[in-house]
Amino acid sequence: MKNSKNKFRKIIITIFILTAILTSSHFLVKKTISFKRLGSIHHPVQNIIAEKPLETTVYFNNNVEETKAIEEIRQFLQKAQHSIEIAIFSFNSNRLKETLYQAAQKGIKVTLILNKSTRFQHDKIFTNLPHEITRIDVGSHDRNNSKNTLYMHHKFILIDRGYPSQELLTGSFDFTDIGEKYVQSFFLTTSDDALISVYGKEFDLLKKGISGLSKLKQRSYEPWAAKIQYQNEFVEVWMSPGFSKNSIKYRVLELINSAQSSIDFMIWDFTDERIAQALIKKSLAGVKVRIIAEDTNAYTPHSMIPFLLSKKEKNNLSNIEIILDTKSKMLITERVPGGFNPYLHQHTMIFDEKTTVFGTNNWSFWGFYRNDEDMLITNNAYLTNEFQKTFNFFYQTLK
């Protein structure tokens, strides 16, 4: 009897040890997989060879008090025959809302993916939502706007995805009336199949409630979503959040390091020290660096603008120039509701007047590693020339 008890005890101990080993091994495997993913060098999840040239039109609302952007977007929405899919951070335009409601009345399926932290604004405007319109709020938010807050910061529209009439609109323009008049931003439109496919994949993730850091759990998700090769040019599509070196941040650092003659930079919020250090290094090497920054964010606690100014003075760097958009408010001819401060809303960098980075991504930890964002990199001559003209316009206007 005693021997039987001892044998039983040994069996139980053996099972316990084996279970502990297996559990530990499973944990180590999971950790190893996670570590490999976090440490991977970036590569595009898709390499696409386009069959035809990129056709696109880009629109800038560069002038304070200009009121044409929303009408342009309204006309874009009116082209829809089958579906409208929108992912937008901020929406309070009644004109665009009415256009969506009219589309729904025609039987067009409308899906709205909205940012959760601006829900109070969206609750106010989207009353009596037609059943043909699906609203999904993603991201996260707490009352203190703490590190638990993750923004769904996209600003894109997909029209008739999967049909011959499909089109994409994307940029830095939020769908707000005050933004139309007092926020200098941009959007582009295209019917390019490859770009629509990549943005459609992002929309489908958000539609399932997979946003922000939860994307990193998806084995199919890569921040470098695609590289599209056209005949003599390319477009890279990047999404956030990134992980480790697989992020738009490290791709931008590569482009900064490869710049030969000039870097022109327009930015709303800039808090990343690594990028600031890289810009100083290139300036010391003789590359001309010009920065146009939004004046309010320029002096927030984590802004890199004071750091850059101090380095410029310390090293007597005449080839780095920093201009704030303070003069924008002087161009106002009417009373602005609530004393709103007009601002430049771009996240754009142009290298050697040949390659351009642009999109929704602020140059911040949140923008690179937590939010839902989209950025494009291209050497397309038309787009680069248009962004360069816009940079030159602000450079002359604000200097």
Given 3.20.20.70, 1.20.1630.10, 3.40.50.300, 3.30.870.10, which CATH number is that of 47-398?
Answer: 3.30.870.10
Both tokens assigned to 237: 């599509």
- pTM listed for this prediction: 0.88
Please state whether beta strands 155-159 and 109-115 pair in parallel, antiparallel, or not at all (unpaired). unpaired
Query: What is the C-alpha separation between 321 and 280, in angstroms, rounded?
Result: 11
Q: Is the peptide bond before 241 cis (omega within 30 degrees of 0)?
A: yes
Residue-level pLDDT at 31: 30
Residue 93 C-beta-side C-alpha neighbours within 13 Å = 25
- Return the amino acid letter for 224: W
- What string of H, E and C letters represents the secondary structure of 309-331? HHHHHHCCCCCEEEEEHHHHHHH
Both tokens assigned to 336: 């602005």
Chunk the chain into consecutive blocks of 10 residues (it has 399) and report each block's average pLDDT, rounded to whole numbers: 50 44 35 38 84 96 92 98 98 97 97 94 94 93 73 97 98 94 95 98 97 92 96 96 93 97 97 97 97 94 96 95 90 75 92 98 94 98 98 96
